[in-house]
Amino acid sequence: MTALLTLFWRLAIFRARPEDTPYSPALFALVLLVWAALQLTVGLLQTRLPASLLLGSQLLAVSILLGGTFVLLAFKRLTHRWLQTALSLVGIDVVLSLVNLPLLIFSLWLGPAAEGLQVLYLLLVSWQLAAQSFVFHRALNVGPFLGLGIALMLLIVSYAAVATLLPGVIGAG
């Protein structure tokens, strides 16, 4: 597991490429389970929403990310790259969620005095977008700025879908 986390960390810091990830459906399923547990933990620490609503919103968002990735890869006739690309995207989210967890616990401990940590959360979101951009750049054979545009577009579509289909999630905290 350490080797896998190291690979995802290297992806997140642009030292590995999505094509370096193993082509393994079983590994992808395992990483998705770890991702779901982490997302649920982070969500429960941040809000008082029911676990089912939190998990539903995260599953909707990741479905849009991974489904959109499949559509884009299909458009470029590169669907054989989907599993490694999807594993890279979810793996990056896992390691960045692990980075976020201590920040979140620290902010809960500080209470209202933790307002300054919002900048760190913004940096983590920006970092995630940059890492996703790199994955799209490599997987789709597009320029880095188009990769960023794709990552931003999928983020906006995910947010809009969650806001539309699960409005109770947005603004809760």
pLDDT of residue 110: 78
The residues spanned by each domain of the chain are 62-173
pLDDT of residue 97: 94
Q: Report in angstroms the alpha-carbon separations of 117 from 81, 103, 108, 114, 134.
A: 37, 8, 11, 6, 26
pLDDT of residue 146: 98
Q: Report in angstroms the alpha-carbon separations of 4 from 43, 104, 122.
A: 24, 24, 26
Please list the pLDDT of the chain residue by residue as tens digits (173 residues).
Answer: 799 999 999 999 999 999 999 999 999 999 999 999 999 998 888 888 888 899 999 999 999 999 999 999 999 999 999 999 999 999 999 999 999 998 888 888 877 767 777 888 899 999 999 999 999 999 999 999 999 999 999 999 999 999 999 988 886 55
DSSP of 53-92 = HHHHHHHHHHHHHHHHHHHHHHHTT-GGGHHHHHHHHHHH
